[in-house]
């Protein structure tokens, strides 16, 4: 049995795992924020109100709600690295559906993106909590979560000028490219995404109650 990573002395590996989890979270967050930044351009293209495209965030969370209970099963089959690489690739493909340029396609893109977005957070949090010392976990998790507003600041600076210069379609392609760069990073740093048997069990334990609640909600009483 491997020792609990949380009891190991601090060193370069916990920091490396934190960086890996933050980079992949940042890539996913770039995709998340992109729907808000694309809304004005899509509204101008379709002639609809910009607020209509604000519903994309709702569809993202709906997709994440549907997929999160199955994270444990996914991690059990693919491991941490395989799960993160798969969901980032799925996010990158989901964003491309927006290129159709209609409200329906954008909402479908957001829902598919949410399906892929759901599992990646649980894997990243498990990576950090298992590698960091107990007294450092709060700090490390806060740093990882800060990659979400960092992604907002980054894409907020880069995407609008890009869309003005090259069109909103170029913005969509650039977001998809960022997500696939995240896939490449995950594959290159695969050793940092290993969860081990205990880590997989931890992810499964966190997702199982959600699955039970989901099944119970739609169960027909006898």
User: DSSP labels for 111-135?
Assistant: HHHHHHHHHHHHHHHHHHHHHS-GG
- What's the confidence (pLDDT) of residue 147? 93
Q: What is the pLDDT of residues 171-195, one digit of tens each?
A: 999 999 999 999 999 999 988 888 7
Cβ(98)–Cβ(172) below 8 Å: yes
In a domain, 215, yes or no: no
Q: In 62-85, which positions are buried (b, 16+ CB within 10 angstroms) versus exposed (e)?
A: bbbeebbbbbbebbeebbbbbbbb
Query: Is 32 within 8 Å of 117 (Cβ atoms)?
Result: yes
Nearest to 10 by CA among 145, 127, 196, 137: 137
Quick one: pLDDT at residue 6? 39
Is 185 among the domain residues?
A: yes
Q: Which residues form the domain of 81?
A: 10-205
What is the tens place of the pLDDT at every residue in 49-78?
988 998 999 999 999 999 988 888 888 888
For the record, the structure tokens of 78 come out as: 């693919």
pLDDT in tens, 85-139: 999 999 999 999 999 999 999 999 999 999 999 898 888 888 888 888 888 888 9
**What are the DSSP calls for 49-84, one per residue?**
-HHHHTTHHHHHHHHHHHHGGGHHHHHHHHHHHHHH
Are 86 and 182 in contact, with CB atoms under 8 Å apart?
Answer: no
Instruction: Kindly state the percentage of the chain with pLDDT values over 90.
Output: 59
Domain count, the chain: 1
Q: How far apart are CA 146 and CA 133, in angstroms?
A: 19
Query: Does the residue 48 lie in any domain?
Result: yes
The string of DSSP letters for 181-195 reads HHHHHHHHTGGGG--
Quickly state the pLDDT bin for 12 (edges 50, 70, 90): very low
Which pLDDT does position 62 carry in this prediction? 95
Would residue 1 count as lying in a domain? no
- N-to-C CA span, the chain: 45
Q: What's the pTM?
A: 0.83
10 Å Cβ neighbour count for 215?
Answer: 10
Instruction: Report yes or no on 95 lying in a domain.
Output: yes
CA distances in angstroms from 187 to 75, 117, 127, 179, listed in the order given: 16, 18, 15, 13
Is 25 among the domain residues? yes
Judge whether 210 lies within some domain: no
CATH of the domain at 177: 1.20.1250.20
Give the mean pLDDT of the chain. 85
Residue 199 lies in a domain: yes
* pLDDT higher than 70, residue 29: yes
pLDDT at 94: 97
Determine the pLDDT at residue 197.
56
Quickly count: other Cβ atoms within 10 Å of residue 126's Cβ: 22
């Amino acid at each position: 049995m491997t020792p609990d990573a949380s009891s190991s002395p601090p060193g370069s590996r916990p920091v490396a795992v934190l960086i890996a989890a933050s980079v992949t979270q940042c890539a996913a967050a770039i995709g998340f924020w992109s729907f808000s930044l694309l809304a004005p351009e899509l509204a101008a293209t379709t002639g609809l109100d910009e607020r209509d495209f604000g519903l994309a965030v709702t569809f993202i969370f709906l997709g994440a709600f549907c997929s999160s209970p199955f994270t444990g099963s996914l991690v059990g089959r693919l491991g941490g690295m395989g799960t993160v690489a798969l969901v980032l690739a799925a996010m990158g493909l989901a964003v491309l559906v927006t290129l159709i340029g209609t409200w329906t396609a954008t909402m479908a893109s957001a829902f598919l993106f949410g399906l892929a977005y759901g599992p990646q957070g649980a894997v990243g949090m498990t990576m950090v909590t298992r590698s960091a010392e107990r007294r450092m976990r709060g700090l490390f998790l806060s740093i990882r979560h800060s990659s979400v507003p960092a992604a907002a600041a980054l894409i907020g600076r880069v995407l609008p000028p890009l869309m003005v210069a090259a069109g909103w379609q170029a913005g969509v392609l650039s977001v998809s490219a960022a997500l696939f760069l995240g896939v490449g990073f995950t594959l290159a740093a695969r050793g940092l995404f290993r969860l081990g048997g205990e880590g997989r069990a931890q992810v499964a334990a966190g997702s199982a109650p959600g699955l039970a609640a989901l099944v119970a909600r739609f169960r027909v009483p006898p």
